[in-house]
Structure 1
């Protein structure tokens, strides 16, 4: 018997279809799973001919003017309309949902690259909670290590939800905790992993602005997934001409909405940390969450400045969707950051803390 866990908002999600401003059927290659491929090969009539005309040798649909060829002029799906929702490809029915399987535990969530899903992630000021249920599914996994990681993750969640701390101190705390956890794993002392999070002193730390700028500059070295990405990053680098003043003013502006960054960090920790059950690398997962927070915060400052020092929930969603599509949807870009964590001196542990 397995356990399935989802965020409480998971089942509230409904695709908004043609009302979506950032349609997932535009600019994205649509892969056809094997079962759908057989169905599409057997569809008769003019629509069957149309299906097969756009199926290529890579088992995907060839885009037409950068759009799925079955996305009509009302931004609705002609496959859905002509042969039914149950005939959609798996990627079309599942996105933006994601599924991760860790032995007896299956976790599902909503990916941040969908604007409608991102709204669920960010709109509530209540702390994120999860629901679990039993179901009949299980794969092999190191269940003992999984239980350790589940405890580690709960400790991190507790820190991230502690609103008595500033968001920057929460990020520094989980980085220090992950560093301690990784040290025990690396030295084969898993049984000595801290069962709780220590209090760390950050009173003497000061942000290193040059390192923050270098962190943002790294985004220009990513494999470009979105045409607008380079321009957004170059615009963001402009904030460093007056960073101290802009950063302080933005902090005051956004102070009542720190829960958005809390939700962002919980999202990354929920989605990625338990993957350490397969590679034993907790620290990289937490660093990825932290660097994502750092970069997105700079994108926020730049958009706030560009908007005449206004920043709405819609602006928050636009930045996070853009980042997610650029980074989360390209394994090469995730791997790029993993390698930077190992070799780039700005990510040396104590130095990294000073750019949070």
Structure 2
């Protein structure tokens, strides 16, 4: 088994109490079976632990502000402070990490919904790439479709990382590779899709409504080309890797390009042509779209409508 990690993961450290957008609020946090048993045992002698999770729904409970009941006023976790990380649910231990699984191969990255991960991704100076962490030397062979997925994805990432070309030129090449029409990434197309989603926060929909009046522009990246390339590589790594067949490869690549433009248009709606606005836009888009299966599937279907049949 080979274990890879994207190079921006190195030295990642949770901001804990210094985080402005804690991952311990406004989420439904699932609790795995092992954690349920550990928490139930602790709850026999700790009333706060007992009140903090629901064995029936297998989730952590939240207050009226949708904050986890284990989240203290200092922004730190009561469970970690008193019992250590080993007691936490699996999702709490691993967030914001995501994994791509192939036969004999696991790849790990950090999700944009975490503000510190978003900062690291957008400030990456070099190319985004996979780093081999360990190889257990166990015999395993990728399937034909897995090889196709990795080859297609790596080709797309190579294009995204090609600093000899402008980002707008790279985008056009990627849309061609995806057999997708350029109309997919125009402001009206970006906004129309997101305004139709059922699970987007109303305040975010209001921001995207503002982008309807933006002038069509295939190069909104001026001054932020390194950040744009990193974002594009991230979306490709995360979403193209999960393709199920050749058609899905193209759809997911089109969605990755769509996501890049969606972040940049949101940054404009937030009123800033600066890295802080771009980072917040990336974090917001990821939290609202990537961490909602419904919104992700809706936008994948939307992107598929722009794929040219050959």
TM-score for the superposition, normalised by structure 2: 0.89
Q: Map Cα deviations across residues 98-119 of structure 1 (whole Å, 9 max, x no partner).
A: 1121111100000011000111
- Structure 1 runs not aligned, ≥5 long: 181-204, 351-356
Shift of 1:272: 1.8
Residue 11 of structure 2 corresponds to which residue in structure 1?
12
* Partner in structure 2 of residue 295 of structure 1: 262
Structure 1 residues 334 and 140: alpha-carbon distance in aligned structure 2, compared to 1, 3 A threshold: farther
Shift of the 210–318 alpha-carbon distance from structure 1 to 2, 3 Å rule, reads: closer
CA distance in 2 between counterparts of 1:137 and 1:90 reads: 27
CA distance in 2, matches of 1:115, 1:169: 29
Query: After superposition, what is the alpha-carbon deviation per residue over 1:8-57, rounded to whole angstroms, capped at 9, x for unaligned?
Result: 2213111110100111111112211110100011115652x222223222
1:259 matched to 2:234? The reply is no
Query: What TM-score does the superposition give when structure 1 sets the normalisation length?
Result: 0.78
Using a 3 Å threshold, how does the CA distance of structure 1 residues 68 and 140 change in structure 2: closer, same or farther?
A: farther
Q: Which residue is 1:223 aligned to?
A: 198
1:209 is displaced (CA, Å) by 10
Residues 102 and 141 in structure 1, CA contact (< 8 A), matched pair in contact too: no
State the SS of the aligned residue for 2:178: helix
* Cα pair distance change 1:161/1:44, threshold 3 Å: closer
Q: Of residues 328, 333, 336 in structure 1, which corresponds to 2:298?
A: 336
Shift of 1:140: 8.0
Q: How many angstroms apart in 2 are the aligned matches of 1:100 and 1:137?
A: 19
CA 1:320/1:25 → structure 2, altered by over 3 Å: closer, same or farther? same
Q: Does 1:43 align with 2:42?
A: yes
- Deviation, 1:269, is 1.0
Q: 1:22 to 1:137 in 2, by over 3 A?
A: farther
* 3-state SS of 2:120 partner: helix
| Other-structure match for 1:54 | 52
The change in CA–CA distance for 1:230 and 1:138 in structure 2 (over 3 A counts) is farther
Aligned in 2, Cα 1:326/1:139: closer, same or farther, shift over 3 Å? Answer: farther
Paired residues of 1:159 and 1:174 also in contact (CA < 8 A):
yes
Q: Distance in 1 between matches of 2:80 and 2:287?
A: 25
- 1:103–1:138 CA contact under 8 A, matched in 2: no
Question: Is the CA contact (8 Å cut-off) linking 2:185 and 2:261 kept in structure 1?
Answer: no
Query: Who is 2:84 aligned against?
Result: 84
Larger helix proportion of the pair: 1
Q: Tell me the equivalent position of 1:123.
A: 123
Matched, 1:71 2:71: yes
Query: d(CA) in 1 for partners of 2:19 and 2:35?
Result: 25
- Alignment: residue pair count: 306
* Alignment map for 1:1-356 (pairs within 5 Å): 2-43=1-42, 47=46, 49-56=47-54, 57-65=56-64, 66-136=66-136, 142-179=142-179, 212-237=187-212, 239-240=213-214, 243=215, 251=220, 255-276=222-243, 278-280=244-246, 281-303=248-270, 306-307=271-272, 311-343=273-305, 347-349=306-308
Q: How far 1:223 moved relative to its partner?
A: 2.5
Pick closer, same or farther for the CA change 1:104–1:29 going to 2, 3 Å.
same
Shift in alpha-carbon separation, 1:37–1:209, aligned structure 2, 3 A: closer
Q: After TM superposition, give the deviation of residue 178 of structure 1 in Å.
A: 3.4
Distance 1:162 1:321 in 2: 25
Kept in 2: contact 1:7–1:128 (CA 8 A): yes
